[in-house]
Chains A and B, each alone.
Chain A
Amino acid sequence: MDFRLSEEQDKFRQEVRDFLEGEIKQGLWEPSCDAWIMGHNPEFTKRVSQKDWIGLTWPKEYGGQGRSYVDRLILTEEMLRYGAPAACHWFADRQIGGAVVHYGTDQQKKELLPMILKGEAYVGLGMSEPDAGSDLASLKTKATEDGDDFIIDGQKTWTSGGGNMNWIYLVARTDPDAVKHKGISEFFFKTDLPGVSVTPIEDITGGVHFNEVFFENVRIPKTSLIGERNRGFYQILNQLDYERSGMERLMANYPLFEAVIKYSKETKQNGKPLAEDPLVRAKLAQLKIEFEIGRLHMYRIAMVMDEGRAPNWESSMSKVYGTAFEQHLAGAAIEILGLYGQLSPESKRVPMRGMAYHSYLSSKGYSLQAGSSEVLKNILALRKLELPNQ
């Protein structure tokens, strides 16, 4: 056992920090909560790509760096710490590249991976539908074979970054007669096609980040099929393990944590810094404790992945834990700000750029996206603890 990172890893962390601090100093962007999923900044993504920080864990033969998942965790940890606007490449880097490496044909690897590495694939994840949320396998969007093509018809919803995407990773039904898990396939294709339309959905913060995506007679070539036809559901289960495993499940609103600590030290109430109030101290210390426990969960997962295992129950456990922490942080931050906590980012006198307000509202979705906490606890109970189904 050794909880230390290697010297190279410490150096790597420093390199990422120097890069991000440099960007902030130049005024290229401001740290913000949820920037990994809401901060669309193609120039930033280009610069990250130029650092070779996309595809860090992919094999070298595919243009990746062949580095460990712990290295990647360090990178994402710092991106989240600084609230960097990484949304353009986040999904592609986190799960799409891996899926192509895993399930793609040689031709697909040759075409798709370089584009992802260059930070040019702004991917939307087309899984959920109005009637298929947790129960993804009940999805209705159809992909019908037609000569050398598939024709896509149906609707996806809650597609994060749908307004900015140029590619979509779509899960659709290819065999309407099979039992529902067994007739699903995965596709990856460009979205600038006739018949694709995107309608934004205003979220609870008043922002626009997820969307409805409609497919009407959309013709895609058969080469868009990723992996085995009708095995898509099983592929996606594996991909979801990775989707759930990331540091964003603990640090989506980390900039708020640093801001509220700073605020507590600097803001005086009754002539004394807030941080000297025993209740505020206890709240902040408890958050720190919960955060550090979560961090250990996250590093454990990276190590599971470095062993070559998909982090199945481990990422279920850590996602439930981490998103609960994020929600706790957001709530506690408003409590510490007191009356000021209710001020919106646009308001006069709002402290901390309104991060607490924003995060409190946006964090409600954390425990739903990529597997709700309830569904994840089911996984933990059935697969790890082997409790009976009935």
Chain B
Amino acid sequence: MNLALSEEQEMLKTMARDVLADKLPKTAVKEIEESEEGYSAELWKEMAGLGWMGLAFPEKYGGSGMSFLDLAMLLEEMGRACLPGPYFSTVVLSGFTILDIGTDGQKDEYLPKISSGEAIFTLALTEPSASYKESGIGTKAAAEGDSYVISGTKLFVPDANVADYILVAARTDKGITLFIVDAKSPGISTTVLKTIANDKLCEVVFDKVKVPKDNVLGEPDQGWPEVEKIIQRAAVGKCCEMTGCIQQALDMTVEYAKDRKQYGRPIGSFQVIQHYCADMATDVDGTRLSAYQAAWMVSVGLPCTQEVAIAKAWAGEACQRVMALAHQIHGAIGVTIDHDLQYYTRRAKAAEVSFGDASFHREVVAREMGL
């Protein structure tokens, strides 16, 4: 057993933190959040140049051949920096799925485009039912000659407004099938929703969208177990982002508590504030330890249903406790729109409900316990 980061991981993490601190001050985050696209094409290019898109993909697909655990370091720092945009959608939700179950042809075609930053991908999974269960999928795909025809409404699809390709989970004859859909296909209409995290979650309506049979990803009708893997990987990725998010909230809060004076002394010298900070630190460390464990398991390919569920259930609730205390300690300044804290508050809440909240994952744990 060894819980230390490798030297490369330390370097990657430091580098990511420095780059993002430099390129992505909160003024930039705000600008990007307010933009129509929801991402900065310039920063996207730089990230691709740094090899971040293809970090965990094999070299033959333009990647660096690193692992999911290495990627976890990046995700943590992206969470710390509040990076807006389609990195998670492209790499975690889509790229890994194609790498996992795509045909050689699909991998050859799409992965290099991801590594180079040329293409943005996303996953259209959830629907108005707002459920991560198989029964939540009503969108249908009917076979017609060499194609499938997809009809239905997907909801909460991240970054669909700028995506070049959309992975779609749809109901076919005997199960769920995944498709790689060109986002410019006729019949697709996208509306951006307004969200607490100011990210670009979309409603995507598929009105008889024709998709060639070659674009089936994985086995027809056998897609649900793959979707479960996607959700699992995404949940772990979110936990890593959440770790960075609350670590930064803790760091900011401790700094503030050292600085802010009331009654002639720093508020951080009041014991109740010290204990709040201690509680926050404990929550942050538990979140990180469980996120790393899950990321490591995904990375080495061990079965990890229980560990992922534990990490996400924990992270969801720990984030809420941490952000509540961060606000309490910051006083009124922390509830202003110009203070950085609000970026973390908003993201932490959205992350809690994404890819399964604590109740969802507790039920997974209960099943794993044989209850």
Does B266 make an interface contact (CB < 8 A)?
Answer: yes
Q: Which residues of A contact B258 (CB under 8 A)?
A: 386-388
Q: How far is the CA of A285 from the CA of B273 in the complex (A)?
A: 31
* A317–B268 touching, CB < 8 Å: no
Segment at the B interface, from A157-165, A297-305, A360-368: A297-305
The answer to whether B314 touches A289, judged by C-beta atoms less than 8 angstroms apart, is yes
Report the minimal beta-carbon distance from A324 to chain B, rounded to whole angstroms: 9
Which residues of B are found within 8 Å of A300, using beta-carbon distances?
Answer: 3, 289
Interface flags, A291-331, vs B, CB<8A=1, else 0: 01100110110010000000000000100110000000000
| Overall SS of chain A's interface | helix
The residue on A at minimum CB distance from B69 is A1
Query: A264 with B371: in contact, given A1-B2, A2-B296, A388-B266 (CB under 8 Å)?
Result: yes
Number of interface residues of B (CB under 8 A): 44
- Within A1-37, the residues touching B (CB, 8 Å) are 1-6, 9
Q: Report chain B residues within 8 Å CB of A289.
A: 310, 313-314, 362, 365
Q: Are A390 and B363 closer than 8 Å at their CB atoms?
A: no
Question: In the complex, what residues of A have CB within 8 A of residue B371's CB?
Answer: 261, 264-265, 275-276, 280-281, 284-285
B222 within 8 A of A: no
Please tell me if B143 contacts chain A, counting CB pairs below 8 Å: no
Complex Cα distance A377/B271, Å? 9
A45 to B292, CA, bound (A): 38
CB distance from A239 to the nearest CB of B (A): 22
Interface 9-mer from B85-93, B125-133, B279-287? B279-287
Whether, in the assembled complex, B278 has its beta carbon less than 8 Å from a beta carbon of chain A, the answer is: yes
Q: Count A-side interface residues using an 8 Å CB cutoff.
A: 45
Q: With a CB–CB cut-off of 8 A, which chain A residues contact B268? A: 381, 387-388
Task: Tell me how far the C-beta of A284 lies from the nearest C-beta in chain B, rounded to whole angstroms.
Answer: 6
Q: Is the beta-carbon distance between B281 and A380 smaller than 8 angstroms?
A: yes
Known: A281-B362, A293-B286. A303 touches B3 (CB 8 A): yes
A292 B290 Cβ-Cβ under 8 A: yes
Residues in chain A near residue B278, CB distance under 8 A = 317, 320, 377-378, 380-381, 385
Q: Does B269 contact A (CB under 8 A)?
A: yes
Which residues of A lie under 8 Å from residue B365 when comparing CB positions?
285, 288-289
Is B265 an interface residue, CB under 8 A from the partner? yes
Beyond contacts A282-B359, A286-B362, A288-B365: 14 other A-B pairs, Cβ-Cβ < 8 A, are: A1-B9, A3-B3, A3-B293, A6-B1, A9-B1, A285-B363, A288-B369, A289-B362, A293-B289, A297-B286, A299-B3, A377-B275, A378-B274, A390-B269
Q: 5 tightest CB-CB pairs across the interface, nearest first?
A: A381-B274, A296-B289, A377-B278, A285-B362, A285-B365
